[in-house]
Structure 1
Amino acid sequence: MKVTKSTLLASAVAAIAGGAMAEEMTIVSWGGAYSKSQLKAYHEPYTEMTGVTILNDDSSPEGVAKLRAMNEAGNVTWDVVDLEAADNIRACDEGLIIEIDPDVHLAPAPDGTPASEDFGDQLVSPCYIPTIVYSTTFGYRTDMVPEGVEPPTGACDVFDLEKYPGKRALNKRPIANMEWALLCDGVAYEDVYDTLETEEGVERALAKLDTIKDQTIWWSAAAEPVQLLADGEIFMGSTYNGRLFSMIVEQNQPVGMAWDWQMFDLDGWAIPAGLSPEREARALDYIRFSSDTQRLADQAKYISYGPARKSSAPLVDKHADLGIDMAPHMPTDPRNAKNTFVNNYEWWADYRDDLDAQFQAWLSQ
């Protein structure tokens, strides 16, 4: 049964007022540099302030499937989960996560602007607390670029095996891959999703991916393409821009960024349905803290993801450890965002299950 705002307010807010909040939380995210940025910007300050023990789980790639399983079993072990926007919409539609009233449960901006205005268009779901704008883009080995050839600049170069020979790495799911395949096969940007709604469009995208299938390593965990690049096992691979930032700037690896047609997306918090009032109250208290203006700006000190709040952007300054200006490394920087592909969250929420099945069937052929 879907949890309503009135039910949530009656139980969780009353629990907060009465001081009845759980003292331990399991927070689910993606691991790697991203989880480290959350640890430094959110978890450690929250634990210091409250004494709450936070357990980390890196299961976000299977977030919706695991929420479904826990819901069916009546045993919800997660307190807060980081989800991509399209997955959040799906989980919200299925009643797997609770609705959030941003102007009740989230902190206003420092100047008093309500959270709903401060987040604005990033509030793509009534169950969502967006935290960062990130992109899926391509990294390549600078020392493997053929002599006399210009380095790759973007997604379409992954399909050019003649100019850029070598293994590739792509995510083992349809999101981004299907859009890039059509775009690089000549479909206009504005027509990509209309094309994907047809069986002919799906076949066209898979046919384009067929041209590099036998040269592609398919990854499911975000750490995999980073390791493949570090080991020189691939020439080029898709991954999250923050992971590439860590490789290039923090680890000084021989890796370059190919920003053209990066895929913009949102990540953010959701609270599972079915928690006890004490656990739900703690989760609400945590997301209010971790989504305020300063906390979102603090996360950008550790990873090159743009904060989802308007009021946070002016507070983004230098990397907390390296002291470098973070703005040029953000996916939203004008020098990196000449051609960007904005993920259609609602479209994927509607079509994801069907395309997942078709994509996995194609992979197994």
Structure 2
Amino acid sequence: MKTTLIMSTALAGIAFGATAQEVNVVSWGGAYETSQVEAYNKPFAEESGIKVNMIAADNPATPLRAQVEAGNVTGDVFDVEVSDAIRLCDEGALMEIDPADLPAAPDGTPAADDFVDGALLDCAVANIVWGTVISYNTTKFTDNPPTTAADFFDTETFPGKRGLPKNPKRTLYLALIADGVPAAEVYDVLGTDEGVQRAFDKLDTIKDEVVWWEAGAQPVQLLADGEVSMTTAYNGRIFDAMVGEGQPFEVIWDGQYMDLDMFVIPVDAPNPENAMEYLKFATDTQRLADQAQYISYGPARKSSAALVGMYKDGKTEMAPHMPTAPENLESAVLDDPEFWADHAAELSERFNSWLASS
């Protein structure tokens, strides 16, 4: 997209005489936040004159909900998961976003036709496609490295502690994949009492070897410190450690859990006009492609794919590291927000009870 078109799209409607020339963006911190700062925030501030204040949270939906419930919203744009975007929208906490207000692709394709499936919701616009993957320390397994989700649960052949997130969504599915359930059948199986029991039975086999993590930076640190030999982690965090920091890590794409991250604006945002302009700017074709220079998350727009090139080091092709690369999709499980809307409460209760049991 030509610079002039980007600027006119991004700046349209900004009230330069407004008192509050700033926008508060709440995201996830770490390498992901860095990619947003470089690809979105710096150019937006330069072209609009609006200051972008970046705030990190372990899960931005948590402070968003707390601010809404307290009647004191201080963030303008929040980066949240799909299920949280749907729930908060249904509760009336978020502004509705018309896809017609979003910039078209460079060839004129309307935004509604250019974003990947599931990327546009009533109150949310996706920016990335990301995956939770298995990663291991190559120094621990030099002769016979693990290659599958089943290997993650095989502590006899591949000894060492395992890192897992302390939530059912990104844990139960992996147990089923490792137990032989095809990716396309995971939700059908997990929707039955027998399937849930099967998942917990599989988790039981490694429960004593698990180190539980809750924030995105934790599994990378656990792996680097040698506290675990394998862990699940956000693929972009692992990429940053492998390529950006030279850590001896490798990724197992078998059974990756794919999800989207969505930008949302709360109804009582302090700077709603600036927030909308930031959202439009950050989700245009070029900006989403630019983000992929810094982290291996797939752009949420189809037209961005052809513009994804090299990592910021100028020598690493980004395409093979994307969750959406064809070879990485073979056994991927795509998040199903409707399933979790129906089952999250009961599965979370069961999961927490299981954690607390000896």
Given the alignment, which residue of 214, 217, 220 partners 1:226? 220
Secondary structure, counterpart of 2:278 in structure 1: helix
Question: Match of 2:327, as an amino acid?
Answer: R
Report the equivalent of 1:272.
Answer: 266
Deviates more, 1:29-38 or 1:175-184: 175-184
Report the equivalent of 2:209.
Answer: 215
CA–CA distance in 1 between the matches of 2:329 and 2:187? 20
Given the alignment, which residue of 106, 114, 125 partners 1:110? 106
CA–CA distance in 2 between the matches of 1:183 and 1:211? 14
1:324 paired with 2:316, answer: yes
CA contact (8 A) 2:177 2:255 kept: no
Secondary structure, counterpart of 1:121 in structure 2: coil
Q: 1:98 to 1:352 in 2, by over 3 A?
A: farther
Report the equivalent of 1:310.
Answer: 302
Question: Match of 1:82, as an amino acid?
Answer: D
1:78 paired with 2:75, answer: yes
Q: How far does the alpha carbon of each residue in 1:84-120 deviate from its partner, in whole angstroms, 9 at most, with x for none?
A: 222222222222222111112x111111111111114
CA–CA distance in 1 between the matches of 2:106 and 2:327? 30
Q: 1:143 to 1:60 in 2, by over 3 A?
A: closer
Report the equivalent of 2:257.
Answer: 263
Deviates more, 1:110-119 or 1:16-25: 16-25
Q: How far does the alpha carbon of each residue in 1:220-251 deviate from its partner, in whole angstroms, 9 at most, with x for none?
A: 01100101111111100001111111111121
Q: How far does the alpha carbon of each residue in 1:311-347 deviate from its partner, in whole angstroms, 9 at most, with x for none?
A: 1111111112343221121122233333222221221
Percent identity (aligned): 50
Report the equivalent of 1:244.
Answer: 238
Report the equivalent of 2:326.
Answer: 334
Matches within 5 A, 1:16-35: 16=14, 20=18, 22-35=20-33
Secondary structure, counterpart of 2:330 in structure 1: coil
Secondary structure, counterpart of 1:117 in structure 2: helix
1:130 paired with 2:122, answer: no
> How many positions carry a matched residue from both structures?
347
Secondary structure, counterpart of 1:176 in structure 2: helix
How many Å apart are 1:16 and its aligned residue? 4.6
Report the equivalent of 1:87.
Answer: 84
Q: 1:191 to 1:337 in 2, by over 3 A?
A: closer
Report the equivalent of 1:7.
Answer: none
How many Å apart are 1:47 and its aligned residue? 1.4
Report the equivalent of 2:7.
Answer: none
Given the alignment, which residue of 332, 344, 355 partners 1:352? 344
Secondary structure, counterpart of 2:328 in structure 1: coil
Secondary structure, counterpart of 2:212 in structure 1: strand
CA–CA distance in 2 between the matches of 1:160 and 1:112? 51
Q: 1:156 to 1:87 in 2, by over 3 A?
A: farther
CA–CA distance in 1 between the matches of 2:192 and 2:58? 30
Secondary structure, counterpart of 1:268 in structure 2: strand
TM-score w.r.t. the length of structure 2 is 0.91
Give me the CA root mean square deviation: 2.1
How many Å apart are 1:123 and its aligned residue? 2.7
How many Å apart are 1:284 and its aligned residue? 0.3
CA contact (8 A) 2:162 2:230 kept: yes
Report the equivalent of 2:9.
Answer: none
How many Å apart are 1:19 and its aligned residue? 5.3
Secondary structure, counterpart of 2:352 in structure 1: helix
Report the equivalent of 1:282.
Answer: 274
Report the equivalent of 2:151.
Answer: 157
Report the equivalent of 1:363.
Answer: 355
How many Å apart are 1:253 and its aligned residue? 1.2
How many Å apart are 1:169 and its aligned residue? 0.4
CA–CA distance in 2 between the matches of 1:191 and 1:110? 38
Q: How far does the alpha carbon of each residue in 1:163-210 deviate from its partner, in whole angstroms, 9 at most, with x for none?
A: 111001011111121111122223343332123223333232122112
CA–CA distance in 2 between the matches of 1:350 and 1:19? 46
CA–CA distance in 1 between the matches of 2:237 and 2:73? 30
Question: Match of 1:130, as an amino acid?
Answer: A
Q: 1:253 to 1:298 in 2, by over 3 A?
A: same
CA–CA distance in 2 between the matches of 1:204 and 1:226? 29
TM-score w.r.t. the length of structure 1 is 0.89
CA–CA distance in 2 between the matches of 1:266 and 1:87? 11
Deviates more, 1:283-292 or 1:176-185: 176-185
Given the alignment, which residue of 29, 34, 37 partners 2:35? 37
Question: Match of 1:262, as an amino acid?
Answer: Q
Question: Match of 2:152, as an amino acid?
Answer: V
CA–CA distance in 2 between the matches of 1:228 and 1:267? 24
Question: Match of 2:350, as an amino acid?
Answer: Q
Secondary structure, counterpart of 1:122 in structure 2: coil
